[in-house]
Amino acid sequence: MDHVRVRFAPSPTGYLHIGGARTALFNWFFARQHHGKFILRIEDTDTKRLKEDSVSQILASMKWLGIDWDEGPEIGGSCGPYYQSERLDLYKKEAQRLVKEGKAYYCFCTPEDLAKNREIQREQGQSFRYNGKCRDIPPEVAKDRIAAGEKAVIRLRIPDSGQMKVTDCIHGEVTFALDQLDDLIIMKSNAMPAYNFACVVDDHHMAISHIIRAEEHLSNTPKQVLLYEALGYEVVQFAHLPMILAPDRSKLSKRHGATSVEEFREQGFLAPAIVNYLTFLGWSPGDDQEIITPTETIKKFMLNKVSKTAAIYDTKKLTWINSHYLTNMDLDDLTREAIPFLISQKVITKDQAHEQAKTIQKVITVVRDRVKTLAELPAAMDYYFKEVTTYDEKGVKKHFSKPGSADLLRQGREQLAQLETFDVEHTEETYRNLTANLGIKVGELIHPTRLALTGRLVSPGLFDVMALLGKELCLKRMDEAINYISTLEIANK
Ligand code: GLU
C-alpha cells in the first residue's frame, strides 16, 4: 500500500482512555506494517472541555505503552503544527472559501431561536432539524450584520434528501439518510472550528490516507464526507473500530473500575500486558493465540479482519495476561517497573533500591509468579526487607499455640544453625531429616517456621525463603518467634 499515513487525534479532555489507547495502537500497527507514518494530532479547539495537563498525560501514557509517533507534538513534522489551536487561520481560510463558493453560509439564529424551533418541531411530531432560516441571507447582508456586531456561526449547506453511502474497511458499505442531518455548523460563533470541520481540513492537509477511529464516530462520517466533497478534497478510507463494552454490555464507565491507561499503570499492570490485551480487543490472528508481541502483530495485523461486533472488556483476562508477563518478562525490566511500587509502599527506601539492587532482583525472582500485579509485590516481599513485627492471627492459633511448638522450632533452629551452606537444598534436607527422626510430617515444622520467618501463612516455598533471608536472619527470626511463643505460654498459664 502506497503512502500510508494514519493519525491518532485525541481531544485533551482527560487521561488516555483504554479505548483511545486501542485506537492509537491499531493505527500504529497499521502504520508500522505498511512502513507508513503515524501522526499524533491534538484536537484542542473545544475550549470548554479542555483539561489542564491532559496533553502531557496522554503523551506519557503513549510513550509508556511504547507507541511512538513520526509527526506530532514534541517532534514536529512537515504538516504541522499538530495542535489544532495553532491552525485556526487555515480553518478560517477554508470556511471563507466555502462561503464564497456558496457552499456555506452565515447563520444568525441564537440558541433561543433554535430552542423555539425545536419546540415547534416537537409539537408537530417532527424530528429535530435546523429549519434553514438563514440559508438565503445574501453574503453582503450577512457581512454587514457581522460588522454591526451580530454573532454568527457558519453552516454547510447540505442536501435535504437523498442518501450517502460510505465504504468502511471494517463495516463495509454503510448507508445514511441525509434528511436526518442538519446543515452542519463548521465554524462556531467564537471563531473556533467545529470538530467535523477541523478534522476534515486537517486530515486533508496532513495527507492522511486512512482514518482508523472508534465506532462512535461512524455517525460523523457522512457529515465529513459531505465536507470532503464541498471542499473538493479526495475522500480518505475509513475504518471504524468496534465499541468496547463492559461485561454487562453497557457503555464502559468509571463504575466498571479503571478505564484509563494511567489508572491501570498505578494498579500495577505492565505496559506489554496492556498492549497485548488491547491487541485482542476487536482483532485476533484467527487462532487461539492469547500472548502476542507488537512485532508479531505488526506482521499479522489486517484491518479488514477487525471485528464489527463490540469487544467486551474483561479485567480477569487482563489480569491473567499481566501475570503471564510478570512471570516471563526480562528480570531487569521487571525490577525497574517494580521499584517505584516498593518505594511508594515503603518496603524499601530509594537508597536501598540502589544499594541492594541484586538482592531485590533475587526476591522478585522468588515471588514474581505468585502475584498478579506489581501492586501486589510489596506485600509479597516486605518480610524480606522489614522486621517481622506481627504474626498472622490464625497462624498463631494453629501453629504457635500447640503444646511443644516452641520446642519444635528450637530443634529446627539448632539444626539449621549447624549448616555451613545455607541454601535451598541443604535447608530442605535438614528439615526432612529432623522431622523423619522425630516421626512427624515435614509440614508440621514447615508451617510454624514460615510463620516465624514471614509472619504469614502463605509465602513462596519455605526453603526458597530461607535461602533468600540467609542464615543469620532466619535464626534471629526463629529466636524471636520462640520468645513470642513463650510469652503466649505464660499468658495461658
Ligand atoms: N478528537 C476526536 C476524539 O477524541 C477524534 C475523532 C477522530 O479520530 O476523528 O474522539
Residue 488's pLDDT is what?
86
The segment with the largest mean pLDDT, out of 114-118, 247-251, 399-403, 430-434, is 430-434
Residue 125's pLDDT is what?
87
492, pLDDT greater than 90 = no
CA pair distance 184, 104, nearest whole angstrom: 9
Residue 493's pLDDT is what?
62
**Residues 194-225 pLDDT 10s:** 999 999 999 999 999 999 999 999 999 999 99
* 398 tagged catalytic: no
Residue 269's pLDDT is what?
98
Q: Is 261 a pocket residue for ligand 1 (Cβ < 6 Å)?
A: no
Q: Which of 39, 46, 201, 213, when mutated, tests ligand 1's pocket best, judged by the most ligand atoms within 8 Å of its CB?
A: 213
CA pair distance 459, 446, nearest whole angstrom: 11
Residue 162's region, left for phi above 0, alpha for psi from -120 to 50, else beta, is: left
Whole-number Å distance, alpha carbon 206 to ligand 1 midpoint, is 15
Whole-number Å distance, alpha carbon 9 to ligand 1 midpoint, is 5
**Which atom of ligand 1 is closest in space to residue 10's alpha carbon?**
4
* Residues, the chain: 493
Buried b / exposed e over 322-332, threshold 16 CB at 10 Å, is bbbbbeeeeee
Residue 31's region, left for phi above 0, alpha for psi from -120 to 50, else beta, is: alpha
**Residues 248-269 pLDDT 10s:** 888 888 788 788 999 999 999 9
**Residues 41-87 pLDDT 10s:** 999 999 888 888 999 999 999 999 999 999 999 999 999 999 999 99
Tell me the CA distances in angstroms from 127 to 120, 131, 182, one per residue in order. Answer: 10, 11, 11
- Strand segments, DSSP code E, in 129-236 are 153-156, 163-168, 172-177, 184-187, 210-214
**pLDDT-based confidence at residue 362 (cuts at 50, 70, 90):** very high
Whole-number Å distance, alpha carbon 360 to ligand 1 midpoint, is 43
Whole-number Å distance, alpha carbon 264 to ligand 1 midpoint, is 22
SS3 (DSSP) at 240: strand
**Which atom of ligand 1 is closest in space to residue 8's alpha carbon?**
8
**Residues 270-279 pLDDT 10s:** 999 999 999 9
Segment 359-385 shows an average pLDDT of 95
Whole-number Å distance, alpha carbon 11 to ligand 1 midpoint, is 7
Least confident of 34-38, 255-259, 410-414: 255-259
Half-sphere CA count of 491, side-chain side, radius 13 A: 7
Q: Is 218 a pocket residue for ligand 1 (Cβ < 6 Å)?
A: no
CA pair distance 30, 72, nearest whole angstrom: 17
Question: What order do you get walking across the sheet with 153-156 strand by strand?
Answer: 104-107, 153-156, 184-187
Backbone angles phi, psi at 186, to 5 degrees: -110, -30
Half-sphere CA count of 10, side-chain side, radius 13 A: 28
What is the pLDDT of the chain when averaged over all its residues? Answer: 95
- From the number of C-beta atoms within 10 Å of its C-beta (0-12, 13-18, 19+), residue 354 rates as exposed
Contact 239, 209 (CB under 8 A): no
Q: Is 9 a pocket residue for ligand 1 (Cβ < 6 Å)?
A: yes
Smallest CA separation from ligand 1 atom 3, residue? 10
Smallest CA separation from ligand 1 atom 10, residue? 10
Half-sphere CA count of 162, side-chain side, radius 13 A: 7
Tell me the CA distances in angstroms from 348 to 67, 270, 359, 377, one per residue in order. Answer: 31, 21, 11, 12
Q: Which of 5, 7, 11, 38, when mutated, tests ligand 1's pocket best, judged by the most ligand atoms within 8 Å of its CB?
A: 11
Name the catalytic one among 48, 254, 358, 493: 254
Contact 270, 323 (CB under 8 A): no
Tell me the CA distances in angstroms from 194 to 73, 93, 169, 483, one per residue in order. Answer: 21, 14, 26, 74
Whole-number Å distance, alpha carbon 10 to ligand 1 midpoint, is 6
35, pLDDT greater than 80 = yes
Residue 47's pLDDT is what?
84
C-alpha Rg value of the chain to the nearest Å? 32
The amino acid sitting at 127 is: S
Half-sphere CA count of 161, side-chain side, radius 13 A: 0
pTM equals: 0.92
Residue 1's pLDDT is what?
64
**Which atom of ligand 1 is closest in space to residue 43's alpha carbon?**
1
**Residues 280-326 pLDDT 10s:** 999 999 888 999 999 999 999 999 999 999 999 999 999 999 999 99
Segment 467-481 shows an average pLDDT of 97
Residue 464's pLDDT is what?
95
Segment 113-119 shows an average pLDDT of 92
Contact 405, 399 (CB under 8 A): yes
Q: Is 43 a pocket residue for ligand 1 (Cβ < 6 Å)?
A: yes
148, pLDDT greater than 70 = yes
Segment 16-22 shows an average pLDDT of 96
Smallest CA separation from ligand 1 atom 6, residue? 9
